Every structure is written in structure tokens, then in C-alpha cells.
Amino acid sequence: MQFIDLLSQKERIRTSLLRRLEDIVDRGQFIMGPEVSELESRLAGYVGSRHCVSCSSGTDALLMPLLAKGIGPGDAVLTTPFTFFASAEVISLTGATPVFVDVLPDTFNMDPDLIGHAVDEAVQRGLKPKAIIPVDLFGLPAEYDRISAIAAAYKLWVLEDAAQSFGGSFQGRKAGSFGLVGATSFFPAKPLGCYGDGGAIFTDDDELDGLLRSVRVHGSGSDKYNNERIGINGRLDSFQAAVLLEKLTIFDDELERRQRVADRYTEKLHKRVVVPRTPEGYRSVWAQYSVLAASAEERDQLIGLLQQAKVPTMIYYKIPLHLQKAYAFLGYKAGDFPVSEDLSNRIFSLPMHPYLKDEEIDAICAVLLA
């Protein structure tokens, strides 16, 4: 059994994908070929945003808006400590300081009620709060209606970390479209993944779109060798764009299959472990199906039983960011973000992909229910 099965998916798109890749080899336009602009307009249409700027990874998709907006030393950017390292790492890469906001115990996403406290903390530390990066963890969009209102009151602009939630939605609005700017990842294991690294940025802001395109190519101006600002090499290559164009043709079907897998897990497991909650009006893409054991000891025991039955599991995330060695210099301590710390002790993720068979789900659940 696979934690994520990319092979069944490959069989569905193999012939048309190989034709596209062969075309690129024949034409030789490996960087920023026509596939890249075709992909950008398809993705912008899918998300419902005016602009899409494709880029080299989800990490760069987060970093580029921070660079474009001039975030730097002395600035504070808020994010959660219960996420993948990159959500905060990009803040540090600009020279700014991450200030953490704890998450909600049932959706694992940023707790809007704690934003004000984090802003005060930033100010007390002599920092200028500038922006906020809510994370759509495991595929579920964060509470943007409340977060955006609170962020506006504090004059923070919102960068949505939609690395795990491309395809998800809230009241019909798609993930990636919630902030001033949204960033997603096409890492192969993501719900929409390419065959290497890739990412994309979404915005309705025309000026920001221009800045992002400049930052993507070393801060270039009208001419490639005329550099107007500091940027990066953040381009997506034509092969990855071709893979994504093919995968988009089956993506909505795959999301429905993911939902069916999640529903079956929830129905069978809700009395045994704490299952994930999807609030009214939200749609998750189930990048992960993560459950909570009653304690750290019970988690070890359940993972052990699953291992014996050859069922792969993962722990996202074992160490919250404020307790990571890399962030020791920020001076946080255990107890500062109790919800994230508790989740880190009890959470684990079950196999999740669109091609998981009912018999496989039932066999996984039987191990947990035994």
C-alpha cells in the first residue's frame, strides 16, 4: 500500500503527456515555453484570479510576494507554528521576523482571535507588523472572512499559503484567491503535483503581478539584463507546465475521489479517533487525512499497529516551528503555543490519494478499530 499513489494517476494521462513532452524536446523551448503561459491562464481561470505567475516551487511562491512588497529587516510577518517549515522560513529569508499565531484545535488552521495578541507582541519587540501568512493546512482553507477583516484593521496584507489547498474552496471561492496574494505548490505529493518542483502565485493586483514577474527573473526590467530590484531565479520550466496541464484535465475528478476517501475514513473512524472537521461552506482537497489519538502514547501504539499491517503513516508536524532548532534565536519556549504543541504530540496522517480502494480503506480502519 502506498501513502500517496502517483502510478495509477500516471497511467490515466500517460499517452497525452508523453506526446506533450516529446513536443517540447523537439521544439527545444525548455524555459518559459508556450506551455507556461497556457498553464498560467488555465490556473488563473481555475482559481478565479486576474493573474497567475507560475514559479519554481511553493517556497518561492511565498518568498516572491514578500520580496515584491519590500518586506525586510525590522518587519514582522505573522504565521502559524503548526505548518511546514517553509511558511516561516521565507519570512526569515527576507530578513524579517516571523511572529507566530496559534491554531484552532479542530481545523488546525490559524485562530483569528489570537492575531491581535501577535500584533501586540511584534510591536513590543520593536518590530513593524506588515503582513500575515495564514496556512490552509492539509487542504482546508483558513477562516479568511474573519482573518481578512482583522488583518485589515491592523493594516496587514494577507499572503495565503495555499501550498496544500489548491482546488479547495470557501463559499464557492477557490483557495489561492483569498489574500492580496496566494501561493501554491506543485510538489509531486501535492493534490495537483508536477514531476519535479513547481509553484504558482495568484493575485488580482495588476501592479503586484508586474513586480512578481520581475522578481521571478532576477528583478529584471523591460530588458533581461536591466535589473531594477533584487529578485531570484524563480521560473517554472516547460516540462513541469506540460505535466500540470495534463493533470488538470483529471483534477476535479481526483478531488471527488479524495472526498469519497475522506468520507469513508470519517464514517468508520469518528468513534475511535478525533477525525478532521470541515466547517460549513468549506471544501478541503484532503492533501492529508490527519487524525488525533488520545495521547502521544496512544499515537505510538496505533502507528505501531499500522506498521505491523504494512500501512504507511506520517506525522505532520512532529515539532512546531517555534520549537525548531533553527528558530531557537526567536526565544520561544514550550508552552507558548499550547494547541500546536498538543497537536504535534497526538496527530498522525493516514494514506490519502484518489486511487485508494474501499477495501484498502476498510483494512486500514480495521487495524485502528481492532
Ligand X SMILES: Cc1ncc(COP(=O)(O)O)c(C=O)c1O
Report the interface residues with ligand X, using CB under 6 A.
Answer: 57-59, 83-84, 86-87, 135, 161, 163-164, 185, 187, 197, 199
Specify the length of the chain in residues: 370
Closer residue to ligand X (CB): 196 or 312? 196
Cα distances (Å, whole numbers) of residue 360 to 47, 188, 327, 365: 32, 22, 40, 9
3-state class of 189 per DSSP?
coil
Report the candidate in 124, 120, 109 with the shortest Cα–Cα distance to residue 79. 109
CB of 162 to ligand X, least distance (A): 8
Report the candidate in 360, 335, 354, 345 with the shortest Cα–Cα distance to residue 315. 345
Closer residue to ligand X (CB): 83 or 169? 83
Closer residue to ligand X (CB): 84 or 289? 84
Residues whose CB is less than 8 angstroms from the CB of residue 299 and which lie 6 or more positions away in sequence, other chains included: 293, 315, 345, 346, 347, 348
CB of 185 to ligand X, least distance (A): 3
CB 354 within 8 A of CB 9: yes
CB of 137 to ligand X, least distance (A): 7
Using CB atoms within 10 Å of the CB of residue 41, give its burial: 0 to 12 exposed, 13 to 18 middle, 19+ buried.
Answer: exposed
**Grid cell 501577535 in the structure block, residue:** 118
Report the candidate in 203, 113, 95 with the shortest Cα–Cα distance to residue 157. 203
Structural element, H or E, at residue 299: helix 296-308
Closer residue to ligand X (CB): 169 or 368? 169
CB 232 within 8 A of CB 60: yes
3-state class of 274 per DSSP?
strand
DSSP-derived secondary structure for 154-173? TT-EEEEE-TTTTT-EETTE
**Grid cell 504530540 in the structure block, residue:** 345
Closer residue to ligand X (CB): 269 or 350? 350
CB of 136 to ligand X, least distance (A): 8
Closer residue to ligand X (CB): 44 or 90? 90
CB of 87 to ligand X, least distance (A): 5
Closer residue to ligand X (CB): 107 or 185? 185
* Residue with nearest beta carbon to ligand X: 58
CB of 34 to ligand X, least distance (A): 23
Closer residue to ligand X (CB): 147 or 361? 147
CB of 324 to ligand X, least distance (A): 14
CB of 186 to ligand X, least distance (A): 7
Instruction: State the cell numbers at 199.
Output: 509553484
